[in-house]
Amino acid sequence: MLEGMSRLNAPYAITPHLLLRAYSIGLFPMAESAEDDQLYWVDPERRAVFPLDGFAVSRSLAKTVRSDRFDVAVDRDFDAVIDACAAPAFRRERTWINMEIRRLYGELFDLGFAHTVECRREGRLVGGLYGVALGSAFFGESMFHLERDASKVALAHLVARLRTAGFQLLDTQFITPHLASLGAIEISRDAYHRALEQALATKADFYVWPKSMRVTGAKALAALTE
């Protein structure tokens, strides 16, 4: 178990609505491995978040975003994104995304709460992320890349969308050097709960840019710097 992480077993069946309730009080589910059929609730003492006005766009990342090297879309293929997030990858031989996680988040997607940001090149999915939107909070769950910078571009587009829509909180659960390099910070559990309460008191529309709209890199960068 990660240091500073409280763990509560979830011995009963979890429904999508129970999962949303858990998010609303600061919990999220994990599994020990993809093969484990059990979930447990996680309530970290230190929580990683992205200040939505502090996303760090390096000169090289800005160039990549602006180039539109990747075709960026939202909510086009949830199953493909979660499959890619669960697949073994460089420096990640194991995953916590088991069949129960797939079921729950697939149902949340069908209900309109889970969302993806997807990067394609020449029609092939090469990077992306998924998470859950509730009120004006977005709970980032996982991301992946098969080509350099694809997940960073997806994250940049996500932050641009959330800023434009008036979201107040982007939760990324645990800090990593990679996320910190992009502007993520750690806050205390109490500070997170206060920020969460404020974010859930207002609504924001993930589709402030319609699903069918092609958002260019230039538009995303403009939203990040407004």
| Domain locations along the chain | 5-225
- The residues that bridge with 125 in the sheet, in sequence order, are 120
DSSP 46-66: EEEE--TT-----HHHHHHHH
How does pLDDT run along the chain (226 residues), one tens digit per residue? Answer: 344 445 555 545 789 999 999 999 999 998 877 677 788 899 999 999 999 999 999 999 999 999 999 999 999 999 999 999 998 764 445 577 888 999 999 999 999 999 999 999 999 999 999 999 999 999 999 999 999 999 999 999 999 999 999 999 999 999 999 999 999 999 999 999 999 999 999 999 999 999 999 999 999 999 998 8
For residue 4, how many C-alpha atoms fall within 13 Å in the half-sphere facing its CB?
12
Q: Left, alpha or beta for 5 (phi > 0: left; psi -120 to 50: alpha)?
A: beta
CATH architecture for segment(s) 5-225: 3-Layer(aba) Sandwich (3.40)
